[in-house]
Structure 1
């Protein structure tokens, strides 16, 4: 029914099976499948909150690649009637486990698509797919050739770009908050400023691209220069003693996606404010 063909083999195939599974346990079963669909795109296009879809512009691809990736340029997303789409761009993540973990968290939290560069990125291999717990096959994943060009073209279509970056520590005064809300250490700032932007809710205002950088080095300057805003996570303690000054990229992506997708809380006016 599914068009699958099977072949029973003997013990003499064990070495071949080991190579096919890259040395990982296979229990005598190997399934050969096409690669994960990963359409190449040049930009993100217009999105429509009411109609619940966003668009992309496809890049050139071979006939063989098109058979795997398809030619879809309009993708549905769940706006819940209040939010624009969120696309996560992971640049230069080299660990396949981290890449898969990012996909798992992104799917669970409600991110609408993931973009990774064609080069200088971990492959969407069986290791990444396993780490994603199947999420990588349930969320749109796109590939880009020129990241800076992709970001610039998407920005011209109305997408706002947020760069995950280190946030300088700030002293707080009694009764004040140095973060976007009083309950979080995740801070927004304008790209060219270190001054926090308070009560900021990205996807409630515009289609959003959240950029995550490589393990260790973070985002490249060419990409940081494309950002409209910065977003960062403040440490909850003095980290100098142990030398742990950042989070694993997959953990950071989870926290930032959760924050970006928060729905604004509508504050009811008190009786005194009504008159």
Structure 2
């Protein structure tokens, strides 16, 4: 459904009509109040599309596409694993950063995690529509399997003292020469102890100043963007 427009927006809407028609999508021109009702009062910018919901992909599909000719994982692979991310805005922002920075796969834990919703898609600025997202109902077994396949499992922590029996280094010092899984924890609690103990190393972001108590952390999507840029930039330097 499209809102009737004039001026420069008419050109944009005309392009929408052409693209939709070429794909066999019916187009209806309606008044704004109808779009408001369809979107339940949310911002729609004059366009509303009815589509089937997106679902998480199976990990079996991911495994097939990431093995080399001899069945071994590509040495330059980066997978992002999300444990119990519940806020759809954060999940969308994480997908947007992962897509932009060159992450090969995103995997979420099924338990206590946000589903793929329209809010997630909007927060991702459309990345969710073109970037497959995978899910696992057994994160522990998944990480153990990746370790057995030769991957490095790298966790994340807000402060070094929060890590349990796992070496912590600055993200600026991290170097990798094998496929790597970056594991991000939930907004409030971070990584579970069970998941931490499956990590080979933990990464922390060094602050740029002495921090006041109570404001010693970053939003999970912001922190992940910083970590991914630091890690993925090495991939680019290696000629990917």
How much has 1:238 moved relative to structure 2? 1.9
Alignment of 1:183-222 (within 5 A): 192-194=166-168, 200-202=174-176, 205-222=177-194
Distance in 2 (CA, whole Å) between partners of 1:30 and 1:219 is 37
Distance in 2 (CA, whole Å) between partners of 1:152 and 1:31 is 41
Distance in 2 (CA, whole Å) between partners of 1:42 and 1:149 is 14
Alignment of 1:156-195 (within 5 A): 156-168=148-160, 192-194=166-168
Aligned to 1:30, what secondary structure does the other structure show? coil
How much has 1:215 moved relative to structure 2? 0.7
TM-score by length of 1: 0.65
Counterpart position of 2:232: 261
How much has 1:38 moved relative to structure 2? 2.2
Counterpart position of 2:203: 231
User: CA 1:195–1:92 in structure 2 vs 1: closer, same or farther (change >3 Å)?
Assistant: closer
* Aligned residues of 1:112 and 1:139 also touching (Cα < 8 A): no
Distance in 1 (CA, whole Å) between partners of 2:72 and 2:114 is 26
Alignment of 1:108-119 (within 5 A): 108-119=100-111
User: CA 1:116–1:195 in structure 2 vs 1: closer, same or farther (change >3 Å)?
Assistant: closer
Distance in 1 (CA, whole Å) between partners of 2:172 and 2:31 is 65
TM-score by length of 2: 0.73
Distance in 2 (CA, whole Å) between partners of 1:200 and 1:144 is 27
Distance in 2 (CA, whole Å) between partners of 1:119 and 1:148 is 12
Q: Which runs of 5+ in 1 are unaligned?
A: 56-78, 170-188, 267-275
Q: Determine if the alignment matches structure 1 residue 23 to structure 2 residue 41.
A: yes
Q: For 1:46-92, what per-residue CA distance to the aligned partner results, in whole angstroms no more than 9, with x for missing partners?
A: 8557x6x987xxxxxxxxxxxxxxxxxxxxxxx8xxx5110111111
Q: For 1:165-207, what per-residue CA distance to the aligned partner results, in whole angstroms no more than 9, with x for missing partners?
A: 13438xxxxxxxxxxxxxxxxxxx99633577995412xx111
Q: Which has the higher helix share?
A: 2
Counterpart position of 2:125: 133
Counterpart position of 2:19: none
* Aligned residues of 1:44 and 1:157 also touching (Cα < 8 A): no
Aligned to 1:166, what secondary structure does the other structure show? coil
